Chain A
């Protein structure tokens, strides 16, 4: 009797507690939290979440483009004024000091708050990196429960490694290169020098190849580790099923079927968690992508319009400053893309 009373009934923990889905909502950054309030990682409705994200994107698009077009308007007006000065009959062209004043005006207008945009881009990438450290272990646990422990571990390790490398490269190589490119562009527009042009080209190429190389290396490593580990996981799962069925002739097959059902349930849960993760990353990226993208497009549009009337040096300066914003956008894009590929890969992992 005492034994019966004293026996504490053992209840199986819910699946989500096992893989730790509560941490996903607790660790959400503030910018994603407002879009995912009330949404559960274990029961994510795609329509609800993406409707919220779409509404937020529409609202922020107007703000982002309004601010970007104001700055682009200043650049356009300055370029047009310099072009008009060329037509006022002061010899063949306007005096050099007018063009220099134009360059100083463009540089000051474009770069006055440049560091805030750079910090926005780096902070967004840091948020993505920090959230990946919470999301990926949850997804990896879910994938392990479906019987793909080896694949999940390999993918998690690959993503964590490349995300850290990307963060370090962004902070210590790409960000200084973007600042250097902006300074070189203004200097080249002011004095016009082949050395400065070559330096600009080098800096631009360095950042492009670095980000492209990292993304390609990550995708290749993920694909290769998936191929190698997936085969091992499949073999391990089949051997385990066979061993259980052989050792326990009647009960064994029931046990292995139950394990398969549990793995399928974990797979369904993992899909929901993966969708929540994707929505969280999209929520984190809305503001920086729209802000930086709007700046990039507005500057390129201004450069295109200015090329019809303005001095080539001024047009090139506006275009190069747009490229600087494009490079900050590319850093964020690379980080978000890595995480999306990793999430998709972990959701797809099925034995």
Chain B
């Protein structure tokens, strides 16, 4: 397979991101014309209140949420894959998204709509899940497949917890089906802002640590001999991964497979180093959710599908192909 030049891959991604974002902003389910939206965008003061609300309270948060969630989940997957040396690892496969989701629900039950509580509990849930996965795989064996299976088992446990929470407290989230399948229909602006800020900080730290993270694929012995504190770096990388995933889940619910699909495609298509892969994954992850959201809004118009469901339809076969490919490579 011919590999893309990383600059070409990045610029194409940015161009597509701008196009998809523009399409999402200009076209939606309401009968407002694209020109009215454009007018409201460039002349906010004189714009009609309804159009302003559609633009600034519905469409723009939705676009930003797609970008934040896509970037967050993709980067989370990339970090998990690098730290664990396993391309099958992703926040959904390892149960991180379900763990974060369960704790977002618990937060809603215990603390109501507190933004800080939701974000903090989301992180705690995600981190607790990855800790459980490590404890299980430590006892079950250190093989790479064991880690994934431990993740799948923990994910199922967390998913059961989510179902239980929804049954016990059906009003814990605004739209429980949308939350469980992942949706951008009800984005909370404060949570979005909090998550975006958190991710920008986490992205900065990740870029700072990128040269060290780049040593993981060489194996622990070589990374150690080169002077990298392997255990410390792995722990920090996992914490960052969990931070990205939990921030995304608190915004858009349980969108699966983005963290699996995007980093693997980026790895397959381009020959980029870790820092470049990080940026490219963030851009293309955003593209995947933006494109998915446009499809979700229009496939069964006037009804709207949860974007997570559409991405799962794409992600599940991708996961199977990846397993088959890994098996073929031995």
Query: Does A associate with B in a complex?
Result: no
B→A interface (CB under 8 Å): none
